[in-house]
Amino acid sequence: MSKTGSVFSMGSGGTTYQHHVQAAYLLVMILRIEMPLVAKDKICEVAFQTTSRGYATDDLMVMVDLGNSETQKILGQEPVKIFI
């Protein structure tokens, strides 16, 4: 097995895609527009790299305001490519 790392094995294989998804949620929050998964509700917080908050899924956290002082978290992880 090669000791040389590839772009995917070193952790940046889905970086561009990840940034597009994160930017989309951030834009939805700023413009207060609807988006799949949060069509009726409003995004009130978008956070990145949330391991310091205790989540194993650290790439994206979206907090959705459901109204009546209720919130829901959507956690996201960039897709992982597995080579066999």
- What is the separation of C-alpha 53 from the centre of its chain, rounded to a whole number of angstroms? 14
**pLDDT-derived band at 33, boundaries 50, 70, 90:** confident
pLDDT over 80 at 8, yes or no: no
Could you tell me the sign of the dihedral formed by the alpha carbons of 38, 63, 59, 30, in that order? positive
pLDDT over 60 at 53, yes or no: yes
